[in-house]
Chain A
Amino acid sequence: MALDICHTVLLHFVHILLWTRLYLWTLVLRFISKPFGLCIGERRKLSAERCRIDSKNLPKLPLHIGLQIVENRISDGDVANLLVWCIAMGFSYISLFDNEGYFKNNPSRLRSVLQKKMADVSESDHLVFQIEVPVRNGGKCYEVISKDTSQATKRTRIAIMSCEDGRGDILDSARHLCQDVADKRYRASEIDIPHLDQVMNTLLDYPDPELIIQFGRVNSLLGYSPWKIRVTEILSVPTHHSINYQSFVNVLQSYSKTQQRFGK
């Protein structure tokens, strides 16, 4: 009995130790690396051109990047910064995921913060983004576009997702297919992976993300769309609070070093 208590106390001690280590590391990232980053050249205003050049220097870049925020407190400004860097680097698709639906409940707030942060970056006039919110149960996709552009410029598409868009997407597709089967438009035996993939794409026609960056200390996908993450690289960063441009580029660098064999 006494031995059991000793063991439990010891285990709690180890947990606290691990937690403290991670917490201190987060603090280091937040308060020390930022001024340090300023010393080594972040003092100058970040320009969209620099983002573009940095992205060109990376050997491999994702077409679709997923940003998963799993922290209790979410900082709009820091998330907007991350999005601006992604847009300036020229990624075509971004998924912004938080499991409780913080961004999903108010996409226009995200847009206004994003536009403000965008203005802080020089040479960013040509950047166009489009925020999309997939809606469940066959509803229409909600969209906001940063500015009215009639000419065909390249725009970055941002999807805001929460945990209900993970397994929920598959459920919706399954119901859709079952309805088609009930209406005798399909035979059930025809259903296979490409078929289901096609139906999933009608909900949100983004390619599968090549990279997900998890912000937060919980190493779990927490309902991130299971269909899409087949070969997605999952990298983890302890916090998104006060993240600076250089650490973001470092994450992309470690992504570009990964190799895939696709089963071979």
Chain B
Amino acid sequence: MDPDLSKSNEHWIEASAATSEWFPEKQYQAQKTWLQSFCLRVLKCGPVPQHVAFIMDGNRRFAKKKSVQTLEGHSLGFEKLAETLQWCLDLGITEVTVYAFSIENFKRSRQEVDGLMELARKKFLRLLEEKDQIMKHGVCVQVIGDLNLLPRDVQEVVAEAMFISRNNTRATLNVCLAYTSRQEMANAVKEVALGVEEGILEPSDVSEELLEECLYTHRCKDPELLVRTSGEVRLSDFLLWQSGYSVLSFVEVLWPEFSIWHLFAAVLHYQTKYNAVQRAKEAMLDNRRRAVLESDHRCVLAQSNTSKETTLSDRKETSLSDHIAMPSNDDAFHKRLSKYRNDRESRIAKFLGALNKRREDFLMSLLPERTLCQIVA
């Protein structure tokens, strides 16, 4: 490679980094005080959450307070988000999920909804322009929600951002657009039911893990810390399933006023609750594994009962509890059980393969013509 060219290329990257809207790294490093670096190092000695979710509430109230336009408030909110991402990267938080737009927000005035959609389109376009920054930080961008509800031009940029960053693994940014948790859960149930309808799955194959694989967030870990600004103390239909074992931190300030100190305080809050939450989480995972084992037992017993056509229902009851209470010595039963387990796992693998294929196809269908042409070329 021509050294001059690579040098000028580097220079160009430097220049764009200086003005990067999504990754204001330079700005952050310049503003970072000695005290901040010190606190950062101290905090990093304890457990730091890998995944933090933010409900960025209070942009409109901030705009009102400063007597500026509502949309101006939302823009300031975006700037704060970019700043927060830098803080998180510096702290070692590798995954961030933000609640940008709820399905309920479509109820707002036409003007505001259009303004917000335009803001999203512009910001994602900008993100595409800053592609080298995405690649440099290794950020995988995912947009979570019912993308069908978004206008076509927003769908295109969003899909492109997801497509170009899909193989990045160092950090993840999940943006919830046109999202509500209930819609997500209902959709997951629907996906599973479709699998049953097509004959790939049995109803007894449905488990908590399987439902999780069908959520929009199937590629994410559950958030360990959930921060909501503006002093409201509810989740407003955000990651209800996933935040079951997250530490909740409700912060009084409005989102544009959120500072690195608030983030530090939230992480400290998380650290003091860490052990108790971890214990509950492990107990939950144990229960979950046991539930799957029990379900397998029940299914195998039901199978053998129907094949032998035993009508003694009370015998079935006692044998079921016996088998669950202690491992049976019955070899034949064990063989049937492991066969059943293998069958179930292969059914689930087949179902998930089909589901992921459908997801990929959907993403491709949203991509704009020009990108598709490039991929084919």
Q: Which of A1-29 contact B (CB under 8 A)?
A: 4, 7-8, 10-11, 14-15, 18-19
On whether the beta carbons of B280 and A220 are closer than 8 Å, the reply is yes
Known: A19-B272, A226-B240, A229-B240. A174 touches B189 (CB 8 A): yes
CA distance A100 to B271 in the complex (A): 22
- A221-262 interface bits toward B, Cβ cutoff 8 Å, 1 = contact, 0 = none: 111101101111111000000000000000000000010101
When C-beta atoms are compared, the residue in chain B nearest to A163 turns out to be: B284
9 closest residue pairs by CB, A with B: A263-B104, A188-B193, A178-B203, A226-B240, A8-B45, A191-B190, A188-B197, A188-B194, A179-B203
Does residue A77 face the partner (Cβ distance < 8 Å to B)?
no
Q: Let me know if A125 is at the binding interface, CB within 8 A.
A: no
Task: Tell me, in angstroms, the Cα distance from A177 to B186 when the chains sit together.
Answer: 11
Once A18-B272, A174-B206, A175-B204 are accepted as A-B contacts, the answer to whether A4 and B45 lie under 8 Å apart by CB is yes
Contact B234 A231 (CB under 8 A): yes
Q: Which of A164, A167, A173 counts the most chain B CB atoms within 10 A?
A: A167
B148-156, B158-166, B245-253, B333-341 - interface stretch: B245-253
Q: For the complex, what is the distance from the CA of A100 to the CA of B105, rounded to whole Å?
A: 37
**Of all chain A residues, which has the CB nearest B249?**
A219
Q: How far is the CB of B181 from chain A (nearest CB, A)?
A: 7
Type the 1/0 row for A186-225, where 1 means its CB is closer than 8 Å to any CB of B. 1111011101100000000000000000000111111110
Q: Are A11's CB and B42's CB within 8 A?
A: yes
Within 8 A of A (CB), among B105-124: 105-108
Set of chain A residues within 8 Å of B126, measured between Cβ atoms: none
Contact A177 B284 (CB under 8 A): no
Are B245 and A222 neighbours in the complex by a CB distance under 8 Å?
A: yes
Most buried by A among B189, B204, B249: B189
- Contacts A178-B193, A178-B201, A181-B193 hold; do A221 and B284 have CB atoms under 8 A apart? no
A196 adjacent to B247 (CB under 8 Å): no
Size bracket, chain B contacts: 35 or more
A148-201 CB contacts (< 8 Å) to partner B:
163-164, 166-168, 170-171, 173-175, 177-179, 181-182, 186-189, 191-193, 195-196
Measured CA separation A142–B138 after assembly (Å): 53
Residue tally, chain A, CB below 8 Å to B: 58
Minimum CB distance partner of A214 in chain B: B248
Among B44, B105, B236, the most chain A Cβ lie within 10 Å of the Cβ of B236
Whether A164 contacts B287 in the complex (CB less than 8 A), given A188-B193, A230-B181, A230-B182, comes out as: yes
Closest A residue to B276 by beta carbon equals A218
A11-B43, A15-B271, A258-B233 given as contacts; is B280 within 8 A of A223 (CB)?
yes
The verdict on B76 contacting chain A, using a C-beta distance below 8 Å, is no
Partner of A167, one of B105, B106, B186, B208: B208
Chain A proximity mask over B186-208: 1 for CB below 8 Å, otherwise 0: 10111011101100011110111
* Supplied contacts A222-B280, A230-B236, 20 more A-B pairs, CB within 8 Å: A7-B45, A11-B46, A14-B42, A99-B280, A167-B208, A171-B207, A187-B197, A188-B197, A189-B190, A195-B186, A217-B273, A218-B276, A220-B247, A220-B280, A221-B245, A222-B245, A224-B244, A226-B241, A234-B250, A260-B234
- In the complex, B71 has a CB within 8 A of chain A: no
Q: From residue B99, how far is it (CB to closest CB) to chain A in Å?
A: 11
* B13 beta carbon closer than 8 Å to chain A: no
Q: Does B211 contact A (CB under 8 A)?
A: yes
| CB-nearest residue of chain B to A186 | B193
Q: Is B269 an interface residue (CB 8 A)?
A: yes
Closest Cβ–Cβ distance, residue B218 to chain A (whole Å): 15
In the complex, chain B residues whose CB is within 8 Å of the CB of A262? 104, 107
Q: Counting chain B CB atoms within 10 Å of each CB, which of A100, A188, A223 scores highest? A: A188
Query: Within the complex, which residue of B106, B180, B196, B244 is in contact with A166, where a contact is CB–CB below 8 Å?
Result: B244
Q: A260 to B206: give the CA distance in the assembly, Å.
A: 35
Q: List 19 A-B contacts (CB under 8 A).
A: A8-B46, A99-B280, A163-B287, A167-B211, A167-B241, A181-B203, A182-B203, A186-B193, A219-B248, A220-B245, A220-B276, A220-B277, A221-B246, A222-B245, A223-B280, A226-B240, A227-B182, A262-B104, A263-B108
| Shortest Cβ distance from residue A95 to the other chain B in the assembled complex, whole angstroms | 15
* B202 nearest in chain A by CB position: A182
How far, in Å, is A47 (CB) from chain B's closest CB?
31
Judging by beta carbons under 8 Å apart, are B233 and A230 in contact? Answer: no
CB proximity of A23 to chain B, nearest CB, Å: 11
Residue of A nearest to B275 (CB): A218
